[in-house]
A and B are shown apart, each in its own frame.
Chain A
Amino acid sequence: DVKVTQSSRYLVKRTGEKVFLECVQDMDHENMFWYRQDPGLGLRLIYFSYDVKMKEKGDIPEGYSVSREKKERFSLILESASTNQTSMYLCASSRQGNSDTQYFGPGTRLTVL
């Protein structure tokens, strides 16, 4: 079975803090994705990566950065957390190709106070 894990299920941070959300997949997938999920807005793509050290902006990259130093790990970084970044963050991975299913981690619910 595909396994995507995220470092925390719940996280509480203060405004201005630097926040790291980690995602690890164990299926040797080339593609990895970060989404945020907000009520009424569905899933919105923040960043994605098709290969190690490669990243591309999604629909809402402002205020976020990412890092992919190893194939299995994709990190989302909030350089200076703000209250409007309070959300559920979902990581996903897939093989290359648009036919391939994205598999999701359990999500991290981040609250920024």
Chain B
Amino acid sequence: AQKVTQAQTEISVVEKEDVTLDCVYETRDTTYYLFWYKQPPSGELVFLIRRNSFDEQNEISGRYSWNFQKSTSSFNFTITASQVVDSAVYFCALSERQGTGNQFYFGTGTSLTVIP
């Protein structure tokens, strides 16, 4: 079973629209971490945010905001007033303890296209 599910494969929006990228995760750990990464056309994954399982406060950073809800195992990402530069593939990831270390699980990504 997928540990991290990003059901939206591709999304297209017109510039200045808001868009929400969904992420649902599965874990039995009580302590875990969730991440969002952006992969622009250049290919390098860029870290956007990390959230631990004990902090359900929503976070806002400029046009970006994240909604973490443990009750629904979701960690959704909203871009407000989208811009062409937001066009990228976005990955949600889960980190949980495994043995002596930790392992990341990535979703399959959501490709966002912002149309000018």
Contacts and interface: CB of A to CB of B under 8 A. Distances in A.
A98 B91 CA distance: 18
Contacts, number: 61
Contacts of A106: 42-44
B47 A107 contact: no
B45 A33 contact: no
Determine the main DSSP class of B at the interface with A: strand
A14 to B, nearest CB: 24
Contact of A41 (B47, B50, B93, B108): B108
Interface of A: 31, 33, 35, 40-43, 45, 48, 50, 56, 58, 88, 90, 92, 96-107, 109
Interface of B: 9, 31-33, 35, 37, 42-47, 50, 52, 91, 93, 95-97, 99-104, 106-109
Given A40-B9, A98-B32, A98-B33, 15 more contacts: A31-B101, A40-B108, A41-B108, A42-B91, A42-B108, A43-B91, A43-B106, A50-B101, A88-B43, A92-B45, A98-B97, A99-B33, A99-B95, A105-B44, A107-B44
